[in-house]
Structure 1
Amino acid sequence: MEKFEGVYISLVTPMTKDYKVDYKRLSEICEWLIGKGVDGLIPAGPLGEYATLSNEERRKVVETVIKASKRRVSVIVGTGASATRDVIDWAKHAKSNEADGILALPPVNYKPLENEVITHFEAISEVGIPIIAFNNPRDFGVDLSPDLLAKISESENIVGVKEFSGDIRRVQEILEKTNLEVFVGVDDLAMEGALCGASGWTSGVSNALPEEGIKLFQLAKERRFEEASILYRDLVKLFHYDANPQLIQSIKYMMELAGQPVGPTRPPRLALTNKAYKEIEHHFNKAINTEA
């Protein structure tokens, strides 16, 4: 039986107009998403602008989300950092605040050897908190292949993988070669991933459209392909933004369109062009109107 399953939201970090973290709004967003039925929340993850946060801000973001969850849903904390010791410190902070697990990248800003990747995860595992390994070779240049994951998963606290390679064939191979749970890591493969046996989905666009995301993933898990594909066609143009370099700006704008504004992104991320905003609004309104 899976420890983590269903739709987990890779949370954005709300900001005020002067780029301060809006913790009150973050708590409100968590409450709204939980009310919509999401299965879990991921603070300080890929969409959380963690690289622009001070350590104090990052700690408070994590603590705010855990407090807001009130144990109603699982909280998996992002631990992205350059040094293994810093990842370990974030893992310890998550554990001390009673998070349910962490999301951990392989070594970044460096092309590691296989034994370095394995040793990195072994060291994190010693913290004693469930770990979802994050495979994103496109952005970080390290590929956690199914064979490498089989070796990494020998550490007892490695329980799953967020698969962001874009190769849907990976899902079945990981399930065959490891005992890991597989999370779909990119939104525009959510339906395919569920059909292939993924137990969970870490979603970005579902920040703005949680009910639609939950419905899509559940239909696909139940192998109700025709119903799932209709909904998927309505959403897939929005899902493509999840793998775009401007994904955070795009998803924050989708949340504004959904009536859940979360403010701007911190520089170096700037506002999108008017053309980009119009395109997002077009696809958003089309999806909502078709769903209605």
Structure 2
Amino acid sequence: MQALIGTGVALVTPFKKDFSVDVEALKSIVNFQVDNGIDYLVVLGTTAETATLSKDEKELVIKTIVEANKGRLPLVLGVGSNNTQEVVAELKSRDFSDFVAILSVSPYYNKPTQEGIYQHFKAIAEASPIPVILYNVPGRTASNMLPSTIIRLANDFKNVVAVKEAAGDIVQAMKLIQGKPKDFLVISGDDMITLPMILAGGAGVISVIAEGFPKQFSEMVHLGLNKRVEEAYKLHYLLADAIDMIFEQGNPAGIKEVFKSLGLSENTVRLPLVNVDENLANRLYDFTNKISKM
């Protein structure tokens, strides 16, 4: 899965001020990623506010991104739920011809055991017509998918090809990298520890900050993959304050404020999310303006 090495971004869903999907802004955001060195795009992840989109809106987002991308970058589709049967049904009914893989989150709210998580992804692996990227994000799911469970799935199912590891725990990530099968990819889901994970043997990132600052973050990732450590860390520390800021008051409220500063979209989010406060908005504007002049 060479297509998944490097920098992927979890695309936002831009909304107009009336909260409808802003198709033209979404096209602009896709082109901004393509033009600035991003390696692949993730459609309908958490950052897309997928939980607040209707079925028709999800299809509109998919259609818009596929058409705007025009086959230029590989696409990954978010297909996840805490209802295993619901995911399996979608996998058996959807056309995945435009996608290289799915990204599927560990079940949230139910708080399954490790065996329950394994059985959930076993059902998904057996049903999926394309490769599967596991997604471990304990901060949102309330349960941590342990390295032993991930490695078990990777060994048992050839189409389980990667994990987006977003526990924010570099030691856990290193255990994954140490124990994984040779071709299995450990992808960072935490922007702040992306570079350390890459230098430890990770394959790259599925990022939020990278869609706001794609040129700089993607360059950092590729420098890290090429073990050009000093140059990579210069870019890491250049962006570190922004990484903290975009998550300070929730995702994607922070990154949408960056897009507003760049003139790519409104900063509108849907309830229960709210916009960042004026202080953070001003700090993000100042940082974005500084980077854009570099």
Alignment TM-score, normalising by the size of structure 2: 0.92
Question: Which residue number corresponds to residue 174 of structure 2?
Answer: 172
1:58-97 aligned at under 5 Å gives the runs 58-92=58-92, 95-97=95-97
Q: Name the CA shift for 1:20/1:110 in 2 (closer, same or farther; >3 Å).
A: same
Counterparts of 1:156 and 1:245 in 2: how far apart (Å)? 39
Identity %: 27
**1:193 equivalenced with 2:197 (yes/no):** yes
1:107 aligned partner, one-letter code: P
Distance 1:217 1:96, change over 3 A: closer
For the Cα contact (< 8 Å) 1:252–1:264, is it kept in 2? yes
Structure 1 segments (4+ residues) deviating >6 Å: none
Deviation at 1:194, TM superposition (A): 1.6
Partner SS, residue 71 of structure 2: coil
User: Which of 257, 263, 272 in structure 2 is aligned with 1:253?
Assistant: 257
Partner of 1:57: 57
Instruction: For residues 42-74 of structure 1, give each alpha carbon's deviation from its aligned partner in whole angstroms, at most 9, with x where no partner exists.
Output: 111021000000011112212322232222211
Q: Secondary structure at the match of 1:247?
A: coil
How far 1:242 moved relative to its partner? Answer: 5.0
Supply the distance in 2 between the matched residues of 1:96 and 1:3 (Cα, whole angstroms): 16
> Within 5 Å, which residues of 2 pair with 1:256-275?
256-275=260-279
2:138 is aligned to 137
Residue aligning to 1:113: 113
Q: Name the amino acid aligned to 1:199.
A: A
- Of stretches 82-91 and 31-40 in structure 1, the one that deviates more from structure 2 is 82-91
Does the aligned pair in 2 maintain the 1:21–1:57 contact within 8 Å?
Answer: yes
The answer as to whether partners of 1:8 and 1:201 remain within 8 angstroms in 2 is yes
Q: Shift of the alpha carbon at 1:7?
A: 0.6
Q: 1:209 aligns with which of 200, 206, 213?
A: 213
Deviation at 1:214, TM superposition (A): 0.9
Deviation for aligned residue 1:211: 0.4
Matches of 1:166 and 1:96, distance apart in 2: 30
Given that 1:94 and 1:102 are in contact with CA atoms closer than 8 Å, whether structure 2 keeps it comes out as no
Q: 2:9·2:38 contact (CA, 8 Å) conserved in 1?
A: yes
Which residue number corresponds to residue 150 of structure 1? 151
- Would you say the 8 A contact 2:253–2:267 is kept in 1? no
Q: Do the aligned partners of 2:8 and 2:206 also contact (CA within 8 Å) in 1? A: yes
Give 1:234 shift: 1.3
Note the residue ranges of structure 2 that are not aligned, 5 or more in a row: none
Matched length: 290
Structure 1 alignment gaps of length 5 or more:
none
Per-residue deviation at 1:258?
2.3
